[in-house]
A and B are shown apart, each in its own frame.
Chain A
């Protein structure tokens, strides 16, 4: 057939099928929209980060670490003449308003940023008054975030106590272009000058400070040599100290890697709604072809070859797929445009770039691909249409090679796998995803088959409506299978997403264990401890635990220096910053993720971190020795290691760890390994040293306190007034911040899952209206036989309710199963059944199903019987 004839015929074939086509297009568009929205957001953010990379780094090159550059390291010798340098330090501390009428002023945990030199070299810090930061910052001034003023009841020009000194608030800061944090920030920003920090006296008392050396290269420096320069610096810096050298050309590799991971996960959720849409596509193609059987027989009779018929309808499908994808692209872009509103405080609007050509193309290809793949099985049926139908309606279908059917199904399976790979970029994940999908769809299909079989064998009910409604489901050829599978998958997605989120929220929002501390005090100096302790007692602290903390660096293991070991274990990967900034104790490094990658990072982190040692004679109750014996070697200084930390270090019983404790070498031998129950929120350490070794070393105290509800703020205020260098970390507050982020992510995922439910419902409605001719005939007949419209509607409602019930029940059951796996295996949390949520989702599926079903049957219900019967 000539192309022109084909296109003419295609146009003619589409006449009178507008409704059907609209449904096809809608099914596809919803899924494509979800895919485009996710891909566009991910690519847009990536592009935003890359193009804004200099602003995000505020420099051409930065050296980061938990230490200042080593003494004697001559940075200038590596840099071209004319390079500008700026020094940044960041730390968490508590600031306070001045006392009022003898009572301490209100206090607040903040993120302090100390700047010197020309910071920021790129991008800007927006301040009020609108003047350069360097002009606003003087030894006795601070620039703070507006939220801090609100929290402390202060205004510009007021005094603010930071550490041991008072500062004047010279301005507020609305935005910093180099502050991107997708996680929870510890508190509002406070800027100080380096001279200001000296006045505050916060440094040198063991506070955890992160250092960043910012470099702006002279204008003539060739960008291509930047990476080489970074590499030279990396090699020159001592590897054991875990310095990280970053250039704007790499553009936030960790942030981007994390975004990519989130993007892939959301991409799969979006793909699921596209696949569910595919079921709708298959169904509408099947219904469309069912209505065209006579015409197809005529065409064959007039001499159209089977493959020409196939080509005609396949190209028609491709065209519709294109239309659906284009519409989906528009919808997806619209969704993207709305994202800055939803996530404005997590993602800076400037970083979101809708209209990513790559995302649009991806939506187009996936959309057309899904349309063709899901249409293949029904289209293969075209080959079977007997031309003899023109003479006899009951002519038997033409025999078709088993191979044709097998090829169609194989193409479907392989195609789905390929499309999934396109989204996830991982063969294993794709296999798991397609496998799980096939499993769920199979379970749903099997269930619906069993139900129809069971109904056919059911004893007859006395209620006409009930009997008829049930009977309609069991009738051969009822288009319920697709609807049940689609709706069930929708229920599965939304339910499992919400179950996971609820479970995690509960875990985080749970009342802390009885006797668990509610706050940690960090950076307490030994001489401050008696005073701090008395203060806590006076404020009514219910329980106070404290331990000494000695900061140290691991120098070597069994004679091999950490520098050697780090180089041995591969040059790639940086420290996981979050880990280095845990709240005063060594907790919670366990969560799922990419194991191999994570293990390697864990090892490097374990070697290079700033080691926190404590000493005690007996272990806390939540520690259990699992190997060796505590303090069993009278000859040598002993250390007890947490088991997984020992694995990360690659050491066992008998290994010797050589530490550098602020210049003094100390050798410790591992004589026991412990497990720790981190969920008690007690103070726990990876490294515990036997008493009598570290008592004279420079140290500070870490305290865990259980405060009466509501007294935390007052204690913080009192501490800030009396011991300004002490930082109080409130566990509840931190958990709530994490909860808020989690909730937001959950919302996004459920929003995407919602697409799946919408598709499922649309498919159900589509299946019902596809059968509207048959249904109209049925209604007419029932009415003629004396059934009232109400009875007919009831019969229909029974049928749809049953569809909803099966889809809801199987969807909920498989959703619960999936969630159980995720919760118990992925998050390693105990499973908590949620019968109410499960029941609610089943009821929801039933209600939606009845509503969609009756809405789709309104026309058949309203027609007068004679109209239908006459048309017969």
Chain B
């Protein structure tokens, strides 16, 4: 049996807050197989983003264990974690997090340069084309609309074809139409590269695209749902207009 891509065991994160300890995550167990598309749902403060940060080694657990492809990461040094991220993890954020002093194309080049990828420039141009921004590569983030910035962020996240992609409310700062377009591209790229995708959202309509939905509440997994959509191995429809119909099944609070 192959190791799960992400294996989380009894994950707990507590933070000091005003002299007391605040429990953000409380004994979470979660296995995510390679190629899965998992949505993490929950109200604000439920621990969604912290879970994501811990998976990427951006934060350290108070207790518990995280294994990526069987390798425990909680005791890795900052340097080892950095190498792990550059080689294996892509990110998409709610606030895009493009570097303001770099052009769109340079933002996409960044992770490629970091791993010393050959033909980085060609690859960046291909990705620009894939997200439909071939003619805007020389623009700076401030010269792009929100949707365009998030497309650049998507291209950057997929640039090194990481096996894992972590997305934190990728449509949270976008209007409905733009958000749907972004999701379409995200799902399309994921399908193309077979990426394991963990997507944090509080929007059931967005979560409906995933094959598996984890509901977090007060730092615990409240419940879990599965559906046939969103699985890479199934022929997932890339047409996101189906999404609202499926939202009804989630039942999670928005």
Contact = CB atoms under 8 A, between A and B. Distances in A.
Contacts of B114: 1, 5, 302-304
A730 B145 CA distance: 86
Given A388-B58, A390-B91, A295 B83 contact: no
B21 interface: no
A73 B203 CA distance: 112
A301 interface: yes
A16 B142 CA distance: 12
B232 interface: no
Contacts of A652: none
A647 interface: no
B52 interface: yes
Given A5-B113, A12-B106, A395-B59, A300 B82 contact: yes
Contacts of B172: none
B83 A16 contact: no
Contacts of A300: 82
B46 interface: no
A386 B60 CA distance: 11
B173 interface: no
Contact of B58 (A9, A306, A387): A387
B102 A12 contact: yes
Nearest to A387: B58
Interface string B228-252: 0000000000000000000000000
A395 B50 CA distance: 10
Interface in B194-236: none
Interface stretch (B34-42, B92-100, B184-192): B92-100
B53 interface: yes
A305 B114 CA distance: 10
A390 B101 contact: no
Given A12-B101, A16-B101, A388 B79 contact: no
A298 interface: yes
A626 interface: no
B116 interface: yes
A304 to B, nearest CB: 6
Given A295-B99, A391-B93, A391-B168, A304 B86 contact: yes
Contacts of B30: none
Contact of B49 (A15, A17, A392): A392
A302 B162 CA distance: 11
A589 interface: no
A130 to B, nearest CB: 68
A17 B91 CA distance: 27
A457 B61 CA distance: 40
A1 B110 CA distance: 12
B85 interface: yes
Nearest to A307: B79
A294 interface: yes
A398 interface: yes
A484 to B, nearest CB: 32
Nearest to B116: A2
Interface in A288-339: 294-295, 298-308
Contacts of B115: 303
A303 B78 contact: no
A702 B191 CA distance: 112
Contact of A303 (B50, B100, B101, B111): B111
Interface in A685-744: none
A305 B111 contact: no
Contact of B53 (A15, A16, A308, A388): A388
A13 interface: yes
A8 interface: yes
Contact size class for A?
20 to 34
Chain B binding site: helix, strand, loop or mixed by DSSP? Answer: helix
A17 B99 CA distance: 13
A386 B57 CA distance: 11
B25 interface: no
B99 A298 contact: yes
A304 B97 CA distance: 15
B87 interface: yes
A670 B161 CA distance: 101
A768 to B, nearest CB: 23
A306 B97 contact: no
- Of B101, B102, B156, B168, most A-chain CB atoms within 10 Å: B101
B53 A295 contact: no
B79 A306 contact: yes
Given A8-B113, A391-B93, A398-B78, A302 B86 contact: yes
B66 interface: no
B214 to A, nearest CB: 17
A387 B114 CA distance: 16
A302 B111 contact: yes
Given A13-B101, A390-B91, A303 B82 contact: yes
A9 B114 CA distance: 10
B101 A295 contact: yes
Contacts of B168: 391
B161 to A, nearest CB: 14
Nearest to B120: A5
Contacts of B165: none
Given A301-B91, A391-B93, A391-B168, A15 B52 contact: no
- Name which of A390, A395, A398 has the most chain B CB atoms within 10 A of its CB: A390
A301 to B, nearest CB: 6
A300 B15 CA distance: 22
Interface string A362-396: 00000000000000000000000011101110011
Contacts of B87: 303
A862 B115 CA distance: 47
B56 interface: yes
Contacts of A8: 113
A16 B52 CA distance: 32
A308 B79 CA distance: 9
Contacts of A396: 15
Most central of A5, A386, A387 by chain B CB within 10 Å: A387
Contacts of A386: 58-59
Contacts of A301: 56, 58, 85, 91, 97
B59 A390 contact: no
Contacts of B49: 391-392
A295 B82 CA distance: 15
Contacts of A392: 49-50, 53
A15 B101 contact: yes
A726 B49 CA distance: 100
A301 B59 CA distance: 11
A661 to B, nearest CB: 88
A295 B106 contact: no
A294 B141 CA distance: 14
Contact of B82 (A9, A294, A298, A306): A306
Contacts of B111: 302-303
Nearest to B86: A303
A391 B13 CA distance: 15
A310 B58 CA distance: 18
A309 to B, nearest CB: 9
B101 A305 contact: no
B204 to A, nearest CB: 22
Contacts of B85: 301-303
B79 A390 contact: no
Contacts of A306: 78-79, 82
A298 B96 CA distance: 10
B122 to A, nearest CB: 17
Given A301-B91, A302-B114, A386-B59, 6 more contacts: A17-B101, A302-B91, A305-B79, A388-B58, A390-B97, A391-B53
12 contacts: A5-B113, A12-B106, A15-B102, A16-B101, A295-B99, A303-B82, A303-B85, A304-B86, A306-B79, A306-B82, A387-B58, A390-B93
The 5 tightest CB contacts between A and B, nearest first, are A303-B86, A15-B101, A303-B85, A305-B82, A388-B58
